[in-house]
């Protein structure tokens, strides 16, 4: 049964719930590993959505949580170039060499969510695109490495912000990581900027996402009229990486760890 931190709404998962989170997280990782070979010039983002949907339902026997979530019309988010997050797959959006695309997947299995995303390079990327995508991944890893019992949510944001700004990139403020489990988006909010030693204290059994959105230009974003797609105001490139994290007794466990990750699954 779920328990709550005293004076908090942040859930602490039981060992049985953690096991279910591991299963859902592994499915999310598997989806991102599966889809990579299909991310080539000439493919539509709608085709990528179809491939992920079929894989989720028919092979993983899971449910794509984004589909119909608050009206979202597709099974994955596909955010290309200057799209920060929540890009809607479309037949009209055809990938070309030099693009970057973030694919965000969230399978729901046995009542629990696994949430992860990766920014892929399409064909031959520009030097800026390669650097942005690499630094964004490093930001994610630096945030993850701060996770341990007794540390604070602000430690995560500070690690991400300082690394991004050191490379003269900016951090999106309006969108953040979140608690996750039976509920897709739960407490706490995990900001990707902030001051060390601030925010809620991390305790074993917490599960949440860290998902920095890093812009090549300014940090400001705007929401398109579809009420989902978020873009950079200056139309500069943006990248995002996301993992679902468990706070353990001694550090962290990445529940959505993939074979291409260069950070240890546990610490």
Condensed to tens digits (0 to 9), the pLDDT of residues 215-233 reads 999 999 999 999 999 999 9
* Through-space distance between the first and last CA atoms of the chain, rounded to whole angstroms: 26
Using CA atoms, how far residue 100 sits from 18, 47, 89, 135, in Å, is 33, 16, 14, 14
| Cross-sheet strand order for the sheet of 83-85 | 83-85, 230-232, 221-223
Per-residue pLDDT at 6 exceeds 80: no
Cβ atoms of residues 121 and 100 within 8 Å = yes
H/E stretch holding 208: strand 207-210
Task: Say which residue, 6 or 61, is predicted with more confidence.
Answer: 61
Per-residue pLDDT at 157 exceeds 70: yes
Q: How confident is the model at residue 34 (pLDDT cuts 50, 70, 90)?
A: very high
Average pLDDT over residues 68-78: 98
Cα gap 42→93, rounded to integer Å: 9
- DSSP-derived secondary structure letter, 82: T
Condensed to tens digits (0 to 9), the pLDDT of residues 174-195 reads 999 999 999 999 999 999 999 9
Cα gap 229→218, rounded to integer Å: 18
Using CA atoms, how far residue 104 sits from 75, 87, 162, 222, in Å, is 9, 9, 25, 19
Question: According to the model, what pLDDT value does residue 8 have?
Answer: 53
Per-residue pLDDT at 75 exceeds 80: yes
Per-residue pLDDT at 3 exceeds 80: no
pTM (2 d.p.) = 0.96
* Long-range contact set of residues 166-169: C-beta below 8 Å, sequence gap at least 24: 167/131, 167/135, 169/132, 169/135, 169/136, 169/214, 169/215, 169/216
């Amino acid at each position: 049964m779920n328990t709550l931190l005293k004076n908090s709404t942040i859930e602490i998962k039981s060992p049985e719930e953690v096991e279910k989170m591991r299963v859902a997280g592994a499915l999310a990782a598997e989806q991102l590993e599966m889809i990579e070979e299909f991310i080539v010039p000439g493919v539509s983002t709608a085709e990528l959505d179809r491939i992920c949907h079929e894989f989720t339902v028919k092979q993983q026997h899971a449910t794509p949580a984004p589909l119909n979530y608050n009206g979202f019309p597709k099974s994955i988010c596909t955010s290309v170039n200057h799209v920060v997050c929540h890009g809607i797959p479309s037949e009209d959006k055809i990938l070309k060499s030099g693009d970057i695309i973030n694919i965000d997947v969230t399978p729901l299995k046995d009542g629990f969510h696994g949430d992860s995303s990766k920014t892929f390079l399409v064909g031959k990327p520009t030097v800026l695109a390669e650097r942005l995508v690499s630094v964004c991944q490093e930001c994610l890893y630096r945030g993850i490495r701060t996770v341990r019992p007794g540390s604070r949510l602000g430690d995560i944001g500070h690690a991400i912000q300082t690394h991004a700004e050191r490379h003269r990139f900016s951090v999106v403020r309006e969108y953040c990581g979140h608690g996750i489990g039976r509920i897709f988006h739960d407490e706490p909010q995990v900001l990707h900027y902030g001051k060390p030693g601030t925010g809620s204290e991390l305790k074993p059994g917490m599960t949440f996402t860290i998902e920095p959105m890093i812009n090549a230009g300014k940090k400001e974003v705007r929401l398109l009229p579809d009420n989902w797609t978020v873009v950079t105001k200056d139309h500069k490139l943006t990248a995002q990486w996301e993992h679902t994290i468990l706070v353990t007794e001694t550090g962290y466990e990445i529940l959505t760890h993939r074979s291409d990750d260069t950070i240890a699954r546990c610490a």
